[in-house]
Structure 1
Amino acid sequence: MNDAADSAQDDGAPEPPPALRPRRKGIYILPNLFTLAALFGGFYAIVMAMNGRFEQAAIGVFCAMVLDSLDGRVARLTHTQSAFGEQMDSLSDMVSFGAAPALIVYEWALKGLGKPGWIAAFVYCACAALRLARFNTNIAVVDRRFFQGLPSPAAAALVTGFIFVMNDAGFVEGVRDTPWLVWLTWGITLYAGLTMVTNAPFYSFKDLSLRRSVPFVVIVAIVLFIALINLHVPIMLFLLFVLYGLSGYVMYVWRRVKGKPVSVIATSTDEPDEAGLHR
C-alpha cells in the first residue's frame, strides 16, 4: 500500500526544470581582424629577420604599429569592445613589439657579442612583457593622458627604426664587424627595454579629439610636418621616435624642478582626468 502511495505521489510531483546551459559568448570579427593583422606583421618581421632581410623586418614591425593603433579605435567606434579583444591585443603586442624586435636586433647585430648580446635582447623582451602586464593591471588607475613608461610600440620603433636607418645608410652586411655600431645597437636595445618599465610619464595623446575645431595654423603645421617626414622617411621617423623616447625623462625632470607630482597613477579612480597626480 505504501509503495503504491509513494508511486502516486511521484507521478503527481512536478518535474524539475532543465538546467540552463551557459550562453556562449561570440567573438567580434572586425577589431580582431586588425589585431590578427598586427600579429601577422610581427610574425612576418621575425621570418624576414631569420632570412637576413632586415629592412623588410623593420617594415613589418611598423605595419604592426599602425594596425595596433587601429584595432582599439575600430572597437570603440563600432561598439565591439570585449574582454577577449583586450587579451588578444596584449598577446599580439607581446609578439610584435616584444619578441619580434628582440629577435630582429639579435640576428642583426647582437649575435656576435655572445652573452652580452643575448642578455640585452632578453632584457628588452622581458621588459616588454612586464610593461604590458603592468599596463593591463593599472589601466583603471593611470591618468589616461600619460603612459607609465615608454609604450612597447614606441620602444619597438626605436630598435627597429635604428636598424632601418642603418640599412638605408648601407650597413646591410658586415654589421657585426663594426664594433661601434654593434655596441651602439646594444645600448639602444637596453635603453628601449628599461625605459618601458620606468615610471617616467610619456604623453599618450588620448585627450586629443579629431572632432574639435582647431586654429588654421594647426593645419599648416601638419602640412609642414608631413613635408619634413618626406625629406628622408627612415631618418625622420627614427628621430621622431628618439624625441618621444626622451620626452618622458624630460617631463619627469621638468615636473620635479617645478615641484609637481610626477606619478601617472591618479589619486582617485572616480576622477581619472584630475589635474593632481600623487607621487
Structure 2
Amino acid sequence: MTDDITPKRPRGIYLLPNLFTTAALFAGFYAIVAAMNGQYVAAPVAIYIAMVLDGIDGRVARLTNTQSAFGAEYDSLSDMVSFGLAPALVVYSWALESLGKVGWLAAFIYAAAAALRLARFNTQVHVADKRFFQGLASPSAAAIVAGLVWVSHDLGLEGETMRWVAFVLTLAAGLLMVSNIRYHSFKGLDLRGKVPFVAILIVVLVYVTITIDPPKVLFGVFLLYALSGPVMTVYLRQRKRRERHHDSDDTGTPPADI
C-alpha cells in the first residue's frame, strides 16, 4: 500500500481584498437602511463610498497577487447589492413610491438591468476589450441615480416634486447598462508608472473642485460620463457614413448597405 503524496491545495480565501468587498457590501446595505429611515443624504453618500471601496478591492487583489474565483464572484454579488438593489430602493423610497405601480416597475427595471449588466460582464471579461465597457457600468449608473437624490435634497427639492425626473433618469440609467453603447473604462491608465508633475496638480484640482460642492460636482461628472457614450456613438456613426460617401464619390460606386 502506498501513501498518497499528492499535495493538497490549501483551502480558504484571501482576506485583504475581500475585506474591502465586504465593506462595499456593508455600505450598500447601509444605504438601503438609511433610505428606509428617510436619511436621503446618508443613503447616497453610502453608495458613493461603496463605489470607492469597489474600486480598491480589485486593485488590492492585483497588487498583492491575491485574485481568486471566489473573490470575483463575491465582488459581483456585492456590486448587485450596492449598485443594483441599493440605488433602486433608495430612489423608490425617495420619489418613485408616489407613482404607485409605475414607480416600483421603474425601480425593478433598473435592478434587473444591473443584474443583466453584471452577468454579461462576467461572461465577457476574458474576451472583451478592456479599454471599453459595453453598456454603462453599474457603479456609474448607481452614481447617477443616487446623485439625483443627493442633489435634490441639497437643493431642498422633495421626492414627490422630482418623481417624474427620477422616473426618467432611473429608466435611462437601467437601459444604458444593458445597451451596446461603449464607454471608456480608463483601465489603460498606468497608475504605477511615472507621470509628469502637472498630472499631480490636476489630481489636486479635481479634489478641490469636488470638495466645493460634492453633490452637484459628482452628479454632474457622472451624468456627463453617461451622456458621453451616446454622443460618441452618434459622432462615430456619422463619421463612418461621411467616409463611406467620400469613398463612393472617389470610386463612382454607391456605398454598400449595412
**Structures share fold, TM-score greater than 0.5:** yes
User: Tell me, what secondary structure is at the counterpart of 1:202?
Assistant: strand
The within-5 A match list for 1:1-279 is 15=1, 23-171=9-157, 174-176=158-160, 178=161, 181-259=162-240
CA distance in structure 1 between the aligned counterparts of 2:194 and 2:4, rounded to whole angstroms: 58
Unpaired stretches in structure 2, ≥5 consecutive residues: 242-257
- The count of residues paired between Structure 1 and Structure 2 equals 242
**Match for 1:175: what amino acid?**
G
Deviations 1:2-52 (A, max 9, x none): xxxxxxxxxxxxx46569796452100000000000000000000101111
User: Tell me, what secondary structure is at the counterpart of 2:128?
Assistant: coil
CA distance in structure 1 between the aligned counterparts of 2:5 and 2:64, rounded to whole angstroms: 34
CA distance in structure 2 between the aligned counterparts of 1:145 and 1:251, rounded to whole angstroms: 15
Q: Is the 8 A contact 1:200 1:251 kept in 2?
A: no
CA distance in structure 2 between the aligned counterparts of 1:66 and 1:56, rounded to whole angstroms: 15
CA distance in structure 2 between the aligned counterparts of 1:79 and 1:213, rounded to whole angstroms: 22
CA distance in structure 2 between the aligned counterparts of 1:24 and 1:225, rounded to whole angstroms: 44
The structural deviation recorded for 1:256 is 1.4
Percent of aligned pairs sharing the same letter: 57
CA distance in structure 1 between the aligned counterparts of 2:192 and 2:76, rounded to whole angstroms: 28
The structural deviation recorded for 1:231 is 2.5
TM-score, normalised relative to structure 2: 0.88
CA distance in structure 2 between the aligned counterparts of 1:170 and 1:132, rounded to whole angstroms: 34
Q: Is the 8 A contact 1:124 1:192 kept in 2?
A: yes
User: Tell me, what secondary structure is at the counterpart of 2:183?
Assistant: strand
The structural deviation recorded for 1:175 is 2.6
CA distance in structure 1 between the aligned counterparts of 2:74 and 2:106, rounded to whole angstroms: 27
CA distance in structure 2 between the aligned counterparts of 1:109 and 1:45, rounded to whole angstroms: 15
TM-score, normalised relative to structure 1: 0.82
Unpaired stretches in structure 1, ≥5 consecutive residues: 1-14, 261-278
